[in-house]
Amino acid sequence: MTAPAAVRPGLAAGPGPAFTAARHRLGLVALLFGLAALAWRSTADQMSGMDDGPWTALGTFGGFLGIWVTMMAAMMLPSVAPTIALYSRMTRRRSPLSPLLFTAGYLLTWTVAGLVAFGIGGASSLFGGDALGWDHAGRWLVGVTLLVAAAWELTPLKDVCLGKCHSPLGFLLGFWREGHWGALRMGMRNGAWCVGCCWALMAALFALGIMSLTWMALIAGIIAAEKIFPRRRTATLATAALLSALGLLVLAAPGVVPGLTIPSGMVM
């Protein structure tokens, strides 16, 4: 005789630990995507009317830092969500705070990268002046930056960095650290690999217009595709081709590049 459902072993106890852990991971991923959506909304509000085209002025330090951190949350959280979910699965019996600290460490590394970019931009404005304007060397600098970014996509070092982001299990096992401080350090380390993978794409974003939602969305889509698409070499080749085409168009006929804001004062 079959036992009644109420007294069958395992049925009265409710969902098992595996189901609960999976539900928590789904909740974490939903939280990350929700934060990214809020960051996109906030970025759109902050950047409204600020797109001056290539090499848009970065403004004050505080203003840039606020926009940059929000941008990184919008652009990076969706693509890093699988890594954080995997880390959460590996730490489900430890502190539930660890995945959030991992995320904070990841964004902290990108914040440092933004500070470096701000310093480079400030130094360029201070020493370059009008020589780097669009109607002088600026246009050529944009084109060369895009071509350099395309070349980086084809380098072995890019492939190594992308491999850490594309298959995070090896990274997590190879750099495992316990505790809250360990979670923060692992997030920072993962962010460092991500910066190594994506710095050239970010340089391309600065070149095309750091305050442009169009270019921001394109770069974010490329980053996500490279990290998620199973054949990462195919993804990097496609990215290199796209960046090369944009670079050549900027050099030859910038007016035909869709979405590119030509800086004021430049007659096409």
pLDDT tens per residue across span 211-255: 888 899 999 999 998 988 888 889 999 999 999 999 999 998 888
pTM of the full structure: 0.83
The count of domains in the chain is 1
Largest CA distance in the chain: 89
Q: Which residue has the higher pLDDT, 15 or 98?
A: 98
Range scoring the smallest mean pLDDT among 53-57, 80-84, 120-124: 53-57
The answer to whether residue 6 is domain-embedded is: no
pLDDT of 190 higher than 90: yes
Question: What does the alpha-carbon distance between residue 96 and residue 129 come to, in Å, rounded to a whole number?
Answer: 50
In a domain? residue 219: yes
The residue range of the domain holding 144 is 18-255
Would residue 236 count as lying in a domain? yes
138 lies in a domain?
yes
pLDDT at 88: 87
Looking at the chain, the whole-number percentage of residues with pLDDT higher than 90 is: 37
Q: Evaluate whether residue 266 is within a structural domain.
A: no
Q: Mean of the per-residue pLDDT values for the chain? A: 83
- Range list of H helices, 91-167: 98-128, 139-152, 156-166
Q: Say if 9 falls within a structural domain.
A: no
Q: CB neighbours (10 Å) of residue 60?
A: 9
- pLDDT tens for 17-59 read 555 556 666 777 788 888 888 988 888 887 877 777 787 778 8
User: What was the pLDDT predicted at 168?
Assistant: 85
In a domain, 159, yes or no: yes
Coil/strand/helix, residue 2: coil
pLDDT at 49: 72
pLDDT at 16: 54
| 168 occurs within a structural domain | yes
